[in-house]
Structure 1
Amino acid sequence: MINQPFSKREGLQDSTPLVYDDAPDSLRFGIREILMVLGYQEPSEQRRVLCGALRIPPDRSNWSEFPNVDEEVAGLTTVEPWYRFFDALERIPMFLAGKDVEAYYQRMNSLLSDEGVGYRFEAGAIVRLGTDEFHESVAIARTTLHYEKFVEPLRQFERAYEFRNSFPPDWPNAIKEAVNSVEAVLQVIYCRPGVALPTIVSQNFPEELPGGIKRLFHSLYSQGSGTVGARHAAIGGIEPTGPRAELAIHIASALNAFAVAELEI
């Protein structure tokens, strides 16, 4: 078990906003500390792991542990862009002894948390953190769409989540796939494959359904339509951001749940 530091034992927490889309120096330095704690004490052992994870051949002209190999390893941790370093963090377990892998994930998550970096390892992959409400909405969508007939909408929703978590994050496609998932749910419910969401809303939604609810569907569709890089984007569309993409995913989850519960015939 990892011994907790004073701040965690006392329940003290920094209120500084989380760092996204960056690999701060403290994180880069910390990976060497983790390798040392796991037993990879010599710089040459750390070089083997990091060179493998980065797909960079070691400098064979460096043979003395200090200062040559040690300086080479320090240089490896400065790789840019930031997401290439994160790719390497995901690949490091491939070059560790099996007994060290779980401890690596635990220590990496502690390091990410301690340094205020907005990512965590989940099931061997680094994922972007979000609010509890956001993650709850993702879980609701997965539960709502678990039926076989909704396999395609679920696949599209999962792709939206994957684009959100990619390195670097792909906000336009995250929004696009969130919209696609809602459109696909309506296509299944009303047996209208290939028909656009606005057409289904105007032609198939019950007349007694409040206009405000119908506008929510139109609003989500317009968010996808007006986003640079999205499938229906017009010239001069809105540049997507992380909060906008997460909002689209959150709304898509709620609308999918509503459609399955209230509109399915």
Structure 2
Amino acid sequence: MLMTFSKRHNFSKTPPITIRTDAPNGLRYAVVQNAYDCGPSYSAIRSVVCRVLLDAPDPNSWTEIPNIRDEVLQHIRFCDWFKVYDVAEALLSYIETTQGYASAVQYSNSMNDFFIGAGIGWQFAPNEGIVYRGDETFDVATAEAAKALSVTGRKNAANEIEEAIRDISRRPDPDITGAVTHSMAAVECVAQDILGSKQTLGQMVGALNLPKPLDEAVSKLYGFASQHGRHVSEQSRPAPEDAELLVQISCAICTYLAKRASPN
């Protein structure tokens, strides 16, 4: 398939993320059309959609186009917003099983292109389904942390970062307190590994020999996480933007500590 004009000439822009708890009509159409472009028939797509939505197919729809196609679009047009993302994940799995890995990559890439172009704060991630998409600095920070922790063999900290991202990615409601708790737990794991200690992060900050005022910042972040993550109340529940910021900062601190402690 010939690349589009904009891709051939690298004309693109990245709109700000404005959509997280919605599935606009364009997305609902893209989920189906992009799947169809990867090989499955509308009948096959209907089977997947009906299974996810637990909605019976119309026995009077026989022809692929326009009847079954329009029925599929009807199903997905009126379902709950978060079910649209469930359908997209189910279609990716179906495409990989029936059409092969290359077609699955085509589907996930085309959907990610749409997410970015439409300002939607979600993305397909390898082996994880649809996960939270932050701005560029968020994505860079989380990717860099995953790499640094993997290279230095700090699996527990890497798992905590993964859990934090998984919590903030939950639909329809993100687990904000879980994201806060796991992100700071990742920093705590790295600190414990570096110092050979089982103390809490709050107790270890002084021993990490962090430059000022980074030591105070880490201590205050730990206090924030304790208050809003571990001892949450209706009055202290953080906003999703707060959790995103804390995950991003935690990733940056993990990366810094891991690289500083590495002999290479």
- TM-score normalized with structure 2 length: 0.79
Kindly report the root-mean-square deviation, in angstroms, between the aligned alpha carbons of the 2 structures: 3.3
- In structure 2, relative to structure 1, the CA distance for the partners of 1:135 and 1:38 (3 Å cut) is closer
Q: Which has the larger radius of gyration?
A: 1
Residue in structure 1 matched with residue 124 of structure 2 by the alignment:
121
Q: What is the Cα deviation at residue 17 of structure 1?
A: 4.5
Question: Does the Cα contact within 8 Å between 1:220 and 1:251 map onto a contact in 2?
Answer: no
Q: What is the Cα deviation at residue 146 of structure 1?
A: 2.6
SS of the residue corresponding to residue 127 of structure 1 reads strand
Which of the pair has the greater relative contact order for Cα pairs under 8 Å at 6+ separation? 2
Count matched residues: 256
Distance 2:49 2:168 in 1: 26
Question: Does the Cα contact within 8 Å between 1:225 and 1:234 map onto a contact in 2?
Answer: no
**Which consecutive unaligned segments of at least 5 residues does structure 1 have?**
none
Q: What is the Cα deviation at residue 7 of structure 1?
A: 9.1
Within-5 A mapping of 1:1-265: 1=1, 3-4=3-4, 9=9, 11=11, 13=13, 15=15, 17-40=17-40, 43-52=42-51, 54=52, 56=54, 58-59=56-57, 61-65=59-63, 69=68, 72-78=71-77, 80-96=79-95, 97-99=98-100, 100-123=103-126, 125-146=129-150, 150-168=154-172, 169-193=174-198, 195-202=199-206, 204-206=207-209, 210-227=211-228, 230-233=229-232, 236-241=235-240, 243-262=241-260
Distance 1:2 1:122 in 2: 25
Distance 1:258 1:7 in 2: 36
Q: What is the Cα deviation at residue 35 of structure 1?
A: 4.0
Deviations, residues 12-49 of structure 1 (Å, cap 9, x unaligned): 647565422221111112333334434556x5343223
Distance 1:136 1:160 in 2: 16
Question: Does the Cα contact within 8 Å between 1:140 and 1:257 map onto a contact in 2?
Answer: yes
- In structure 2, relative to structure 1, the CA distance for the partners of 1:5 and 1:184 (3 Å cut) is same
SS of the residue corresponding to residue 230 of structure 2 reads coil
Distance 1:26 1:34 in 2: 12
- In structure 2, relative to structure 1, the CA distance for the partners of 1:190 and 1:30 (3 Å cut) is closer
Q: What is the Cα deviation at residue 240 of structure 1?
A: 2.6
Q: What is the Cα deviation at residue 142 of structure 1?
A: 2.2
Equivalent position amino acid for 1:26 in 2: G
> Identity of aligned pairs, percent?
22
Question: Does the Cα contact within 8 Å between 1:47 and 1:58 map onto a contact in 2?
Answer: no
**Which consecutive unaligned segments of at least 5 residues does structure 2 have?**
none
- TM-score normalized with structure 1 length: 0.78
Equivalent position amino acid for 1:251 in 2: I
Distance 1:257 1:38 in 2: 38
Distance 1:146 1:58 in 2: 45
